[in-house]
Amino acid sequence: MEALNTLRPVFDAYDRGYNFGEQGLYYDVKRNPVSHFMAFYQLSRLFVHFGLPVFNYFPLRRPWSPCYVTIDSKIPC
C-alpha cells in the first residue's frame, strides 16, 4: 500500500479514465508521448526524492546512428 501511495503523483498525472489502449502502456508512450509528459515529470521527481539516478525521459541522442566510428589505419591510401 505504501508503494501505491508513493506512486500516486504519477497515476494522478493521467486524466480520470485514461485508457492505454489494447497494446499497452509501452505502445501508447511511443504512439502518443505528449499524453505522458506529466507522468514522466512526476516519476523523475520521485527518483530525485529517493536519491535514485535521474530518470531521463527526454533522450538527447537517438540510437539510429553510431556514436563513434572505427577507422582502420592499416588500409593504404
Residue 60 lies in a domain: no
Predicted local distance difference test score (pLDDT) of residue 42? 92
Domain assignment present for residue 62? The answer is no
In this prediction the pTM is 0.64
DSSP 13: T
Q: Is 32 within a domain?
A: yes
In a domain, 74, yes or no: no
User: Whole domain around residue 30: which residue ranges?
Assistant: 2-49
Residue 44 domain flag: yes
> Is residue 64, in this structure, part of any structural domain at all?
no
Rounded (to 5) percent helix, strand, coil in the chain: 45, 0, 55
Question: Does 55 reside within a domain?
Answer: no
Per the structure, the count of domains in the chain is 1
Residues of the chain with pLDDT under 50: none
Rounded distance, CA 35 to CA 14, Å?
8
In a domain, 65, yes or no: no
